[in-house]
Structure formats: structure tokens, C-alpha cells
Amino acid sequence: MNDQQLLRYSRHILLEQIGIEGQQRLLDARVLIIGLGGLGSPAALYLAASGVGQLTLCDHDTVELSNLQRQIIHRSSAIGLPKVGSAQAALQDINPEVECIALAVRADAGQLAELVAGADTVLDCSDNFATRYAVNRACLAQRKPLVSGAAIKFDGQVAVFDFRRADASCYNCLFPEDSLAAELRCATTGVFAPLVGIIGTLQAAEALKLLAGIERGLSGKLLTIDALDMNIMRSNLSKDPACSICGNSF
């Protein structure tokens, strides 16, 4: 690290759990962020500000007026532009040292496999079950840690599936694909703006710890937030031996 970097990251370096070594790990790290909406916005901002070396941003959508209530990485001037381009500009402005790769695509299984293979940690900031199952499969196959987040109305959740561990449960253990209730989308049901900020920020926090080698946090746990009563609960996740996705993988 040069003097500018030592200064920029000094408040992380001062933390005994991070220090020079942990900060260097962040600078060397590559993170894949799926979705640059309500969750991906704060997550990407904190990862870039923290100096994560490479961020790959994946989202096929463009910025709309109704996004701006909560997707805080985007500005009014970006309406109509691809979300990944808008996000990339904001991130480079905060920290020009971060390499930002903007992919305005809806990644299919083959592309996801390739993108996950090139990442140290994956953040699922998407807003639909199809993407969540596809990302879960890709991370399990490549044994890459997955930080999953979701938020709807006033309810949010974060879970970390560290597939480097043989006993890790997966997203499908938690929400089996074949027993799904009807999908709720914030486009039709609404979502409380700061809730996505809280959830996305928690995703960034968990990712930074995974990357820095801090083995504490939500690995193997599910954190749920009811933002009306502001009730936060943490529970253990257990691997379902009969899970159709990870049951026979190890």
C-alpha cells in the first residue's frame, strides 16, 4: 500500500481484526454483485469505499423514476440509463482505485458459472426467486461464499452460505424451490426505503468480513428484520440432507 492508500483506509487498518493484512486482502479481492437495485446500491457503495479491488456489477435493468426512492446509488440524471453504468460512475467517483466491471445482462447459467468462478465472494442482491436459485446453484458448484439478501414491505433477511465449508446449508435448504408461496415483488407490494439500505449494508458487512478473513458473523445463520417493530432475530440454518440442490453434493 502507498501513503494515499494507508490514509484512505486508515480507519480500517486501525481495527485489530482488519489491520494492514486484512485491508490488503480487501484490495486483492474480487466480488460479484448480482442486482444494482435497493440492496446492491448500498452494498456496492460500501464495498467500493472499503477498497475491494474488483467489483463486477451485473444487472440488465435501466434506472426508472420509481427506483430513486430507495436505490441510492442512482441519481435523477441517470433515469433511462443502464443501472450498471450509473452505479459504475458513482463507485469510480467515490474510489477510482476500484476496478468496476459493468455487465448490463441478465446472466444465464453459463455466464453465472463463469462470473462466480472469477469472484472470491458473491452478493445476491436480486429481487426474484429464479435468480436466487440460479446464483445459489452456481456458488455451490464453485464452492464460493454467497451473501444473500431480500426485502419486501417492512420485512428483510440476510443469510450467509459459506460453500467453502462442507456442512454449509444452501438457499434451497431454507426455501425449497418446489414449495414456494407466490412470489412478492416490490413493484406491486411496496418496500420501505431504509429497509433495503439496512439489508444491503449488512450484506456488505458480511462480505467484507469474509474477504478479510474474519470468521465471525452470519455464516450458517439467517438474520430477519421486521422494520415496523424494528425487531431483529438471528437463527441457525441447518443443511437439509434431502435438499434437491446440495443434499448429495458432499
Q: Which backbone phi and psi does 123 adopt, to 5 degrees?
A: -110, 120
Which CB sits closer to Zn ion, 87 or 168?
168
Which CB sits closer to Zn ion, 86 or 172?
172
- Over the window 149 to 178, marking each residue x when it contacts Zn ion by CB under 5 A and - when it does not, the resulting string is ---------------------x-xx-----
We find the least distance from the C-beta atom of residue 244 to Zn ion, in angstroms, to be: 8
Distances (CA, A) of 238 to 123, 141, 244: 20, 19, 14
Order of all β-strands in the sheet with 121-124 = 99-103, 54-58, 30-34, 121-124, 146-152, 155-161, 221-226, 231-236
**Number of Cβ within a 10 Å radius of residue 231:** 9
Q: Which residues pair with 159 in a beta bridge?
A: 148, 222
We find the least distance from the C-beta atom of residue 174 to Zn ion, in angstroms, to be: 8
- Over the window 218 to 247, marking each residue x when it contacts Zn ion by CB under 5 A and - when it does not, the resulting string is -------------------------x-xx-
Which CB sits closer to Zn ion, 78 or 218?
218
We find the least distance from the C-beta atom of residue 168 to Zn ion, in angstroms, to be: 9
- Site for Zn ion, rule CB under 5 A: 170, 172-173, 243, 245-246
